[in-house]
């Protein structure tokens, strides 16, 4: 079990490292609108060269965020449906932590609010 957790943490770190780069996030944003060819992605990011876009797409493929399929002479890229599951599971722990704590704070504030009678004293 420990090895699984360690490898999950490493996988999540790889995904976090991949999405930490702004150009890769821009590629993910473009692919969130639908699948696109490599040429279309290059046109959407004119500040990057075709080789740079290809390198970023390779990183996104290697960490499991993007998949590619051939279509005649083109390569079509798409988001992987399960690509962000590991990150979502990791973030979920913190989401649950804060939900519990904020619920407790809300309950505390609701039970300790001064009544209008208290403010007249």
Model's pTM, two decimal places?
0.69
CATH architecture of 1-113: Orthogonal Bundle (1.10)
Which DSSP letter does residue 105 get? H
Element (H, E) at 68: strand 66-71
- Parse the chain into domains and list their residue ranges: 1-113
Q: Which residues make Cβ contacts (< 8 Å) with residue 78, sequence separation at least 6?
A: 31, 34, 35, 66, 67, 68, 69
Phi, psi angles (nearest 5°) of residue 80:
-85, 135
pLDDT in tens, the chain (121 residues): 334 443 444 456 688 899 999 999 999 999 999 999 999 999 999 999 999 999 999 999 999 999 999 999 999 999 998 888 878 888 898 888 888 878 777 877 888 877 666 666 5
């Amino acid at each position: 079990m420990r090895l699984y957790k360690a490898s999950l943490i490493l996988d999540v770190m790889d995904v976090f490292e991949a999405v930490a780069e702004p150009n890769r996030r821009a590629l993910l944003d473009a692919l969130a609108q639908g699948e696109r060819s490599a040429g279309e992605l290059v046109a959407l990011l004119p500040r990057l060269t075709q080789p740079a876009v290809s390198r970023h797409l390779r990183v996104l493929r290697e960490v499991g965020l993007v998949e590619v399929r051939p279509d005649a002479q083109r390569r079509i890229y798409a988001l992987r449906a399960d690509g962000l599951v590991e990150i979502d599971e990791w973030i979920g722990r913190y989401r649950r932590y804060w939900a519990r704590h904020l619920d407790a704070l809300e309950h505390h504030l609701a039970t300790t609010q001064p009544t209008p009678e208290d403010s007249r004293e």
